[in-house]
Amino acid sequence: MNRRSFLTGMMLPAGIVAAAPAGSALDAEFLNPPAAARPWVYWFWINGNISKEGITADLESFRKAGVGGVLWMEVSGPWWAPDGDVKALTPGWHEAMQWAIAECQRLGLEFAATHTEFVGHSACWGPLAPAVESPEVLLRLSVRDADKAAIVDPMRHLEQAGFKIVATGGTQRYLVENGVAAERINKVLEGRPHIVDSMKNGGVQLVINTTDGAKSVSDSRDIRRTALLRKLPYYTTIPGAVAAVEGIIAYQQGNLTVRPLQDYFKA
C-alpha cells in the first residue's frame, strides 16, 4: 500500500470522529465548558461611543456565546468612527466603567484591561516586565506637534532611567531640540538599516507608534506586524505610552503594587 492509499484507508466518517455519546461527560463539557476553557475576547470602546444599554447588550451577547472574559481597550481616532458623547476619564466615562465591571460580575464574566488611560501601572504591566532592563527603546511617532510635546517628559524620564531612545527623523529632531538624547533611525521607506530591522534583531524592547490618518496607519503596517510576531509591547496612543512609562519607572523604583481593578471603580 502506498502512502496515499494508506492515508485514505485510515480516514473515518466525520460523524464517527466528531460525535460523542448523547449525555456523556464529554458532551456535557462541550455544552457547558469549565471557566478555564472559555475563550476571551477583545472589547473595544471606540471614540466614546458607549452607553449603559450598549455595554449590557455587548456583555450579554458574549455570555450567551460562551465567552469567559473580556480584555477591554479604549481606542480613538477619526478613522475608527465619529466621536461619541462619552469622553475618556470624564464622570460619564467613569460611570460607564463602573457599570461595565458590575455587569461582568452579574454575568460571571472576567474583566481585564490593556494599557489604559486611567491607571499608570495596572493590567498593562505584564508585557513590559522584560523591557525594564532593556538597553534600547524605539520611539516612533508620526503625529501632530501637540502629541510630540506630550511625549517629551516621558521620554526624558526613560532617558534618566538609563534607557536608550531611537526615533525616526522628525520625532528625533524634536526630542533633541527639547533636551532629550535620541538617535535617529530610518523609516522602512528610507532604506536599511531601518526600524523594522532593529526590531527583528532584538535591539528594541518597546515600541511607541502613534498615527494620524489612514495613510499613516497603512505606512506603519510592518511595524505593527513585527511587534506582534516578536511579542514586543506596542503602544498606539499617547495616554497608553505615558501609562507604560509610569509603570516602568514605578517598577524600577520598587513602587509597583498589585490591586484589583475593581478597587479603582467601586460603585
Q: Taking the model in full, what pTM does it have?
A: 0.51
pLDDT along the chain (267 residues), means of 10: 33 41 66 77 89 96 91 76 84 90 91 55 42 50 66 88 84 91 86 86 82 63 83 80 82 73 63
Q: Which helix (H) or strand (E) holds 176?
A: helix 169-177
Q: CB of 247 within 8 A of CB of 160?
A: no
- Residue 264 grid coordinates: 479603582
Contacts of 62 (CB under 8 A, 6+ apart): 41, 43, 70, 107, 109
**Per-residue pLDDT tens for 206-259?**
888 876 666 566 667 888 888 888 878 888 777 778 888 888 888 777 777 777
Bin 182: left if φ > 0, else alpha if -120 < ψ < 50, else beta.
beta
Query: What domains sit in the chain, N to C, each tagged with a CATH number?
Result: 30-113 (3.50.80), 126-252 (3.40.50.1380)
